[in-house]
Structure 1
Amino acid sequence: MELTPRERAELQALVYSPDVTATVATRARIVLWHAEGRQKKDIAALAGVSRPTVDLWLGRYATQGIGGLLDLPRGAGREQVPARVRARVLALSRTSPPTSTRLSHWSSREMAAFITRTDGVSVSHHYVAKLWRDNGITPYRQGMFTVSKDPEFAVKVAGVVGLYLDPPGGAVVLSIDEKTQIQALDRTQPLLPITCDATEKRTHDYMRHGTTTLAAALNVGTGEVLGECVPVRDGAQFLTFLQKAVAPHGGRTCM
């Protein structure tokens, strides 16, 4: 058996890891000894195991890699929940809690208790939490939105979306954004560099040197970026930057 430097390093890390049992470390040693060219009977004697055990772990490593040397997790049997209950949990998770619950958001414990109470099927909150993770559901999170006061907002949205749905031929796509209030800070003392036994150190206090605003335009087709820093951010400045961004594309439609 030949090991790559990476495989050898992984096995050696397993041997000396404080997070694994001595049994797992011995399995890693068996593979390392075999890679050194030792005979299986000698490996069995060194490890204090039988010859079939040596064959077992060498075979596991050959087919499954380092994961084959680890112990499988042990615990209670998998919870048996009817498919209809699973579907109901998913459906409820995507809606606000019923008024009768007096809840603003679902938690895994409240959902489990509600299902047990209304469906007569006992489910644990661990089951609900895993179901949420597996399906990317986060009912405990909250988002925000705003309503535009522009009376022509809907028309403008339709125009922008229309460009994406049916772009004119030869159009140039520019992705434009700005970062405002970038602070220019300096520490009151020079940084202390990293040493063999200490991290980099810096003072907690600092000096301000004003702020700036960065505007940038990315040409999605070529990867070219146009950037500009200005001391003041206002509508006129941003319009000026837009004009600079589209100027090199003379006459072509810019999106």
Structure 2
Amino acid sequence: MPRSKAVLELTEEEREQLVRWARRRKSSQALALRSRIVLACATGASNKDVAVQLDISQPTVGKWRSRFLELRLDGLVDDPRPGRPPTVTVEQVEDVVVATLESTPKNATHWTRDKMAQRSGLSKSTIGRIWKAFELKPHRADGFKMSNDPLFVDKVYDVVGLYIDPPESAVVLCVDEKSQVQALARSQPAFPMMPGMPEKRTHDYVRHGTTSLFAAFNIADGTVISSLHRRHRALEFKKFLTKIDTEVPDDLDVHLVCDNYGTHKHPSIKKWLESHPRFHMHFTPTYSSWINQVERFFAYVTADLLQRSDHRSVQALEADIRKWVKAWNENPKPFIWTKTAEEILTSLARLLKRTNGAGH
């Protein structure tokens, strides 16, 4: 004859706690299942019936029935795992985080794992894990400069509005110049990349002159109108505007997103714009080149072509740039702008609040 199971009865407090564990979203799945097992057993059902009801094995039901009868609610919690208990205390973690954020080591500008390990008495690997957990990277530093433009908000709304909802019967072009692009000739030929060894280039070079790349990036299709000039004065910018005027169909208005460089506001440019009423200038806020999409295009030019360039003349450099831009226009890549002006301003407000608060 099979042995009769011990009767499993619950107090009101135990039942309420088990129901909370079974239903609460933040409970672990294992604890929720164990709670349902005990609740089902408390109805008088057999282990077999509970196993069928919850779609689990009978030994699992028997295990947690027995654990609950022996230890009650405490029996449903996992046993401590084997192994050495943690040796780093909460106070030590807090000390490392606070020291990283609010101090610098002696005779150094920032903490390293080695220096923090010496200060705290913890291992370098432990320091690394703490920094990773709190997303602290003392070895990194990014540059920034907040705009002091009194019309910052208005300009952000203006430019972002063009990106998200461009006007009909018009083309929106992000315009700028990548000035002083140098034709650099390395002093020695490069060593090609080999398995286990990156490409090697000499650190010294000979300068063979400079050129400036004028570019107008079409936000709709990613195509680029470009021009190369040895200088980047108002005269060259006016020539570039004339080129844009000839390449954009006459029935379209032209909205240009530009920065606040002096050549863009020169009297000769204003006079040219007055005689070409279909052109409309939109200026980005000061120190806000990130909002001009052509800067992302220039980053591609730099990474793909200029960063490892080796040119013996300006003419050779300009030929390669023209070739690169032509290839770009054969397979253009428009950039998808997703953030609204409100989201940008809210993000900047959060950043200012965090950085200003950190200093107090």
Q: TM-score, normalised by structure 2?
A: 0.32
Greater relative contact order (Cα 8 A, min sep 6): structure 1 or 2? 2
Q: TM-score, normalised by structure 1?
A: 0.42
Report which of the two structures shows the higher radius of gyration computed on alpha carbons: 2
